[in-house]
Amino acid sequence: VKPVRSRINRRAFLRGAGTVAVGLPFLEGVPERSAFAQDDNPVFGLFVVTSCGVVQKPGGGSDPEKFWPTADGPLTTESMNAFAADRCTGILAPHASRLLILRGINYPHRSSGCGHAQGLVQSLTSSQPNGGGNTSTASGISIDTHIAKAVNPQGVEPLALYAGMKGGYINEKVSFSAAGQVRAMEGNPYNVYQRLMGLATPSTGTGGTGGTGGSSGMADQIVLQRKSVNDLVREDMKALLARTDLSSADRMRLDQHLQSIRDMENTIIGMGRGCTLDGLDVQAMEQLKSGNAFRNDSSQEQVSRLQMELAAFAFACNATRVAVLQVGDGTDASRYTLDGQKVERFHYISHRIQGDGTTGAAIPQAVEWHTAIDRIRMEGLKGVLDKWAAYETVGGPLLDRGFLMWTSHVATGPAHSFNNLPIIIAGSAGGYLKQGQFINGGNVTNNRLFNTLATAMGVPTTNFGGSGLTGGELDVIKA
Residue 270's nearest CA partner among 309, 323, 315 is 315
Dihedral class, residue 152 (left if φ above 0, else alpha if ψ from -120 to 50, else beta): beta
To the nearest whole angstrom, how small is the minimum distance from the Cβ of residue 107 to another protein? 14
Tell which positions 100-129 bind another protein, by CB under 8 A.
111-115, 117
**φ, ψ for residue 451 (rounded to 5)?**
-55, -40
Binding flag, residue 340, another protein (CB under 8 A):
no
To the nearest whole angstrom, how small is the minimum distance from the Cβ of residue 352 to another protein? 6
For another protein, what does the binding mask look like between residues 5 and 34, x meaning CB under 8 A? ---------------x--xx-x-xx-----
To the nearest whole angstrom, how small is the minimum distance from the Cβ of residue 333 to another protein? 5
For residue 342, list its beta bridge partners: 337
- 3-class secondary structure, 95: helix
Exactly one of 75, 80, 165, 327 binds another protein (CB under 8 A); that residue is 165
The CA distance from 256 to 273, in Å, is 32
To the nearest whole angstrom, how small is the minimum distance from the Cβ of residue 269 to another protein? 20
Q: How far is CA 110 from the centre of its chain?
A: 25
To the nearest whole angstrom, how small is the minimum distance from the Cβ of residue 47 to another protein? 17
The CA distance from 1 to 87, in Å, is 41
Exactly one of 209, 415, 458, 472 binds another protein (CB under 8 A); that residue is 415
Binding flag, residue 236, another protein (CB under 8 A):
yes
Helices (H) and strands (E) in the chain, counts: 14, 16
Exactly one of 62, 204, 247, 467 binds another protein (CB under 8 A); that residue is 247
Burial of 337 (0-12, 13-18, 19+ CB in 10 A): exposed
To the nearest whole angstrom, how small is the minimum distance from the Cβ of residue 21 to another protein? 8
Binding flag, residue 329, another protein (CB under 8 A):
no
Binding flag, residue 248, another protein (CB under 8 A):
yes
Binding flag, residue 242, another protein (CB under 8 A):
no
Please say which residue, 140 or 430, places its beta carbon nearer to another protein: 140
Tell which positions 174-213 bind another protein, by CB under 8 A.
177-188, 191, 194-195
Tell which positions 31-90 bind another protein, by CB under 8 A.
none
The CA distance from 316 to 398, in Å, is 8
Tell me if 122 sits within 8 A of 107, measured CB to CB. yes
For another protein, what does the binding mask look like between residues 136 and 155, x meaning CB under 8 A? -------------------x
Helix (H), strand (E) at residue 117: helix 115-123
Please say which residue, 83 or 169, places its beta carbon nearer to another protein: 169
Exactly one of 37, 85, 229, 479 binds another protein (CB under 8 A); that residue is 229
- Measure the CA angle with vertex 160, ends 157 and 164; round to 5°: 170
Tell me if 293 sits within 8 A of 306, measured CB to CB. no
